[in-house]
Copies of this chain bind each other. A is one copy, B any other.
């Protein structure tokens, strides 16, 4: 039976929503700055109404939400699904919510957690992107995937199950070092366009270095010794940080193709870093979220 799906990617700082046709095609997209940090307690239903009211008139509509809306500070806490876990585990742990403006069914997809070196790691929203990306890749059952961002996620999938993942605070470290550290003193006030030579030099430097705690200082000394132009230093620092992820993840060409998920602006540097290390990369864009949520809906129909 054909059914309309409203897919919502509700993060910390923004909300993206899409109306999907019964074949998963995006009919319309909307965006709002009402991320969960901008939603007063108890007002989640109201914000959804403002953004998607006309899409949710038909009571047969299914609305699926991924991201931080399922966190303790969100609409309703959807407990993390522990790794290793497959797509069906997510579908089996949906957290249902009520909205007084509609009789449409609304569910939050849980995030995932794993143990890493004796400490927990968590994601919310990326798990839907990962399963969506695998579907867009023709139903791939295995692979290594990276989702760049303030907190990047590296994930490993085997036999269709997410085995484990690691969070790297790469985007946040860049902002801290760029804005507040001694390294900023030898940098221009604004980041210019990416200097790909300086960037790949940073990637290479990080690969042979033991830690970003040490390699970061080279951004200062290369400037002091006039061995790098100050305009190139932000690109170099970015390369150091992304190269550090590659080193810590131990990725090499033997791992095969790495899938980089995200907008073009975010993923370009990761593709470049991987390719500079001889590692093939491919990109899947923001459509991974819509495909992932649509797949959840499909799976629910099969189960029922």
- On A, residues with C-beta under 8 Å from B are 116-122, 151, 166-170, 172-173, 176-177, 179-182, 205, 208-218, 221-222, 224-225, 227, 241, 244-245, 247-250
Q: Are B119 and A218 in contact (CB under 8 A)?
A: yes
Can you report 5 A-B residue pairs in the complex whose CB atoms are below 8 A from each other?
A166-B214, A176-B181, A211-B211, A213-B245, A214-B248
Contacts of A247 in B (CB 8 A): 210-211
Q: Are A120 and B169 in contact (CB under 8 A)?
A: no
Contacts of A167 in B (CB 8 A): 214, 217
**From residue A287, how far is it (CB to closest CB) to chain B in Å?**
27
**From residue A35, how far is it (CB to closest CB) to chain B in Å?**
14
Q: Are B217 and A121 in contact (CB under 8 A)?
A: yes
**From residue A11, how far is it (CB to closest CB) to chain B in Å?**
14
Q: Which has the most chain B C-beta neighbours within 10 Å: A119, A218, A222, A227?
A: A119
Q: Are B218 and A120 in contact (CB under 8 A)?
A: yes
CA distance A116 to B214 in the complex (A): 10
Q: Are A211 and B168 in contact (CB under 8 A)?
A: yes
- Which residue on chain B has the smallest CB distance to residue A150? B182
CA distance A15 to B122 in the complex (A): 47
Contacts of A245 in B (CB 8 A): 211, 213
Partner of A217, one of B151, B209, B244: B151
Q: Are A221 and B122 in contact (CB under 8 A)?
A: yes
CA distance A213 to B211 in the complex (A): 9
| Given contact pairs A120-B225, A180-B180, A218-B119, A213 touches B210 in the complex (Cβ within 8 A) | no
Q: Are A119 and B222 in contact (CB under 8 A)?
A: yes
Q: Are A221 and B177 in contact (CB under 8 A)?
A: no
Q: Are A168 and B214 in contact (CB under 8 A)?
A: yes
Partner of A216, one of B118, B169, B205, B215: B169
CA distance A166 to B250 in the complex (A): 23
| Given contact pairs A211-B211, A247-B210, A221 touches B120 in the complex (Cβ within 8 A) | yes
